[in-house]
Amino acid sequence: MTDQSCHTDHYAVLGHPIHHSMSPKIHAAFAEQTGQQLSYEAIDVSPESLQTRLTQLPKEGFCGVNITVPHKEVAWQYVKQHGLLSERAALAGAVNTLAWTTEGLLGDNTDGQGLLNDLQQRHGLSLAGKRILLLGAGGASRGVILPLLAAHPAALVIANRTAARAEALAELFAPQRANCVLLGCGLGHLDRLTASAGSFDVVINATSASLGGESITLPTGTLTSDAFAYDMMYGKALTPFLQAQQNAGVRHLADGLGMLVEQAAVAFTLWRGVTPQTQPVYNQLRNDLSNK
């Protein structure tokens, strides 16, 4: 929890570009719901000025900020130099939430917990004992691997176009895998892997393919007949990835709008010490998207 003696409770999301961000609307709704007095704005910060801006913000009365594309890795480096990283942020190599507390600067990554909360609470999906396929080996994947492992799946396979990046991630997180089979591979090896080890119960798309209108076609047999497909991207209609999975016969589909709201709630709780209800905010955002 942040130092409540911050004379003005200012918060913001930093990104570049940032005009599209839903974070101000989300946190305004959380504040109204919980009776918290605060302001939250979107601030466009160029990559070259990020570190200078982070140094200025607490002097301007900011108690915390969210960090989004393309700043998560640079902000991580900043916190490593000037503050303390949570365990999940340290391993992720990226932060999405900063808090200036009485103990100093804290950097956290709430993406993975936000994903888990969405999957487990909103969609009622238990990951224990499941075989999970995580697509992509970038920052989005790094941020969710530790929380996914904490959910005790039977296997977590990271698949990426460049196999070496996926293999490196699996090696990085190997000490945290407990009894989970943790592997990295190339997308081109999925058919052989599935043939030898079995199909997956859950697939999570952590690539940015859907942003560019691209879909990812998985080899036949990659997913079980009752699999759950999840895309961290979201939109008015099904993302290209989810559309491809639906076309392949997958019936359980979800996009990342819930993850967006849930990760924001984890950050809000870190800052304010109160936990907001996420479903009303999720419903409002979903309705807003449908009416665009």
Q: Which pLDDT does position 119 carry in this prediction? A: 98
Confidence of residue 4 (pLDDT cuts 50, 70, 90): very low
The number of angstroms, rounded, from the C-alpha of 40 to the middle of its chain's C-alpha atoms is 20
Q: How far apart are CA 133 and CA 201, in angstroms?
A: 8
Both 102 and 235 in one domain: the answer is no
Residue 148 maps to a domain: yes
Instruction: Give the domain extent around 89.
Output: 10-109+258-290
Mean pLDDT over residues 38-50, rounded? 97
Confidence of residue 139 (pLDDT cuts 50, 70, 90): confident
Both 205 and 264 in one domain: the answer is no
Residue 44 pLDDT > 50, yes or no?
Answer: yes
Q: Which pLDDT does position 8 carry in this prediction? A: 56
Both 131 and 247 in one domain: the answer is yes
Residue 155 maps to a domain: yes
Confidence of residue 212 (pLDDT cuts 50, 70, 90): confident
Q: Is 80 a catalytic residue?
A: no
| pLDDT, tens digit, 9 for 90 and up, residues 67-125 | 998 999 999 999 999 999 999 999 999 999 999 998 999 999 999 999 999 999 999 99
Which H or E run contains 271?
helix 257-272
Both 70 and 131 in one domain: the answer is no
> How many domains does the chain fold into?
2
Both 164 and 272 in one domain: the answer is no
Residue 180 maps to a domain: yes
Residue 219 maps to a domain: yes
Both 91 and 66 in one domain: the answer is yes
CATH code of residue 218: 3.40.50.720
Both 142 and 46 in one domain: the answer is no
Residue 108 φ/ψ, nearest 5 degrees: -130, 165
pTM of the model: 0.94
Both 168 and 264 in one domain: the answer is no
CATH code of residue 57: 3.40.50.10860
Residue 3 maps to a domain: no
Mean pLDDT over residues 247-256, rounded? 96
Residue 130 pLDDT > 90, yes or no?
Answer: yes
Identify the active-site residue in 25, 59, 72, 292.
Answer: 72
Residue with token string 């970038």 = 138
* Full DSSP string of 131-147: EEEEE--SHHHHHHHHH
Q: Which pLDDT does position 251 carry in this prediction? A: 95
Both 195 and 121 in one domain: the answer is yes
Both 250 and 276 in one domain: the answer is no
Confidence of residue 7 (pLDDT cuts 50, 70, 90): low
Confidence of residue 211 (pLDDT cuts 50, 70, 90): confident
Both 42 and 151 in one domain: the answer is no
Q: Is 92 left (phi over 0), alpha (psi -120 to 50) or beta?
A: alpha
Confidence of residue 230 (pLDDT cuts 50, 70, 90): very high
Residue 3 pLDDT > 60, yes or no?
Answer: no
| pLDDT, tens digit, 9 for 90 and up, residues 144-167 | 999 999 999 999 999 999 999 999
Both 226 and 119 in one domain: the answer is yes
Residue 216 pLDDT > 70, yes or no?
Answer: yes
Task: Indicate the SS3 state at residue 231.
Answer: strand
